[in-house]
Homo-oligomer: A and B are copies of this chain.
Amino acid sequence: MSDASGFPKLTAQEAAETIHHGDVIGASGFTLSGYPKAVPVALAQRAREFHDRGEPFQVAVYTGASAGEEMDGELARARAISRRYPYQSHPDLRSAINDGSIEFVDFHLSHMAQYVRAGFLPRPTVALVEAVDVTPEGHIYLSTSGGSSASYLQMADRIIIEINRFYGDGLKGYHDVFIPAPPPGRQEIPVFRVSDRIGQPFVAVPRDRIAGIVETEAQDSTRPFKEPDATARAIAGHIVEFLKHEHRQGRLPDGLPFQSGVGNVANAVLAAIATEPSMSAISLYTEVIQDSLFQLADNDRLLFASGTAITLSPMAQIRFRRELELFRSRVILRQQEISNHPELVRRLGVVAMNTALEMDIFGNVNSTHVLGSSMMNGIGGSADFTRNAYLPIFMTPSTQKGGRISAVVPMVTHVDHSEHSTKIFVTEQGLADVRGLAPVARARRIIDQCAHPDYRPLLIEYLEYGLRHAPARHTPHVLDRAFEFHIRYRETGTMRV
């Protein structure tokens, strides 16, 4: 650890006192990894003190993606956030968004940094990032996530750095920091292989903008690893069979990297790839590297992993800390603008696997809104990958809440991925390959392969009714019935009749 004594060492409380009502904080943090853990708690306390005195205290918060309890939870409960961009997953923050007290702006993660740099969003006044080290010349070595930290650090007036000692020096060298030049005149992003390094292992900032350093030693407060259940294993099995079939047909060249969304089903798919005897080792060009990293490595199936965050269960963080040297040559952490960049996703030929909240019979996917209204987490990078993928796959269990909710519905209540972009759908029931199919043929295949048997007759009835009564048979929707599954659920507690 280099001597950082050139910068003021602050307590979390002292650092929080440099942040004021109306500030725009550009923070590190991506899917519960690498977010600041001490200053936000003190900032929440500061906000409460203002509020107790009847004075306003709210800040806008930009991050990479979702931050942990110490940040998103604390600040949300303290009512310290006015606006939050561009992704979140904390229950208390989600509640505040859905009761209308926090404005949440949910957009494609690959755009966040460019939009900030272009001046399309208010400039961050404070950058608050977690790092493992900062050198006297102002080289900041980020911790477990890249996010959009480099751009926030570049633009903010004042920089507060939390130096987290948990991983120590060992994380140095994992990051590859590259900020594209603004157009016009931008050159190519020179990543041609998943493992290509194109930038520097640190973010360089003018040292006089570093207002202070706060020391911590804490794990990312992630969720424990859960073994995949039977449903997740069934979904994974269908996907592995499909990948093998596509490979045999010559439609899936060797060496295409995989992107995999966050969560149990995604983990199960990578676990299935790791243990399937007839598959070969893979690369990940993904957003979030999860516990499946180890499963792939332990089964000799990992070529390389590129992401913007490494989000590991508490147990896996301990292992990662022990094996930092071992994985250094096989893992890169990039800024999310690069991990999710359309140029690279298209060039590399990424096979994208993301989780749907619900899908409709015509192939539109909802990733964000429950009943068209309540924000779940956000679109994240799912469209960055889906829209540009070599082959996009959406997966979800066919039902939720003990069968009372069908994941396959007549019309999704919010579209995050349109029928034009989606190709492969998977539930534990089966896999629907709708490449090259028109909407009605697509509907028959999705109902047949993906819907739960309890809901198939209802979906077929809707389709047949539409073919008789809709204004047209291209996409035979009947608008006064399109949301009948959802309305029934709200009225009776189940989508079943």
CB distance from A186 to the nearest CB of B (A): 5
- Interface membership of A430, Cβ < 8 A: no
Identify the stretch in A7-15, A98-106, A137-145, A446-454 within 8 Å (CB) of chain B at 4 or more residues: A98-106
Q: Please give the count of copies of this chain that the complex contains.
A: 2
Interface residues on A, range: 35 or more
> For residue A349, which residue of chain B has the nearest CB?
B183
CB distance from A406 to the nearest CB of B (A): 15
CB distance from A127 to the nearest CB of B (A): 18
Contact A436 B253 (CB under 8 A): no
> For residue A414, which residue of chain B has the nearest CB?
B475
CB distance from A391 to the nearest CB of B (A): 8
- Measured in the bound complex, the distance between the Cα atoms of B423 and A205 in whole Å is 31
- Interface membership of A347, Cβ < 8 A: yes
The main secondary structure of chain A at its interface with chain B is loop
Q: Which of A250-298 contact B (CB under 8 A)?
A: 250-251, 253-257
Identify the stretch in A28-36, A165-173, A326-334, A482-490 within 8 Å (CB) of chain B at 4 or more residues: A482-490
Give the residues in chain B near A420, CB-CB below 8 Å. 106-108, 379, 383, 416
Contact A346 B349 (CB under 8 A): no
- Measured in the bound complex, the distance between the Cα atoms of B436 and A103 in whole Å is 10
Interface string of A415-431 (1 = CB under 8 A from B): 11111110100000000
Known A187-B347, A343-B347, A374-B474; further 13 A-B contacts with Cβ < 8 A: A98-B472, A100-B440, A104-B438, A106-B419, A185-B192, A185-B255, A186-B192, A186-B347, A188-B190, A342-B346, A370-B471, A371-B477, A372-B482
Give me the 9 closest cross-chain CB pairs, A-B, nearest first. A183-B349, A100-B473, A415-B415, A103-B438, A188-B188, A374-B472, A98-B472, A343-B343, A342-B342
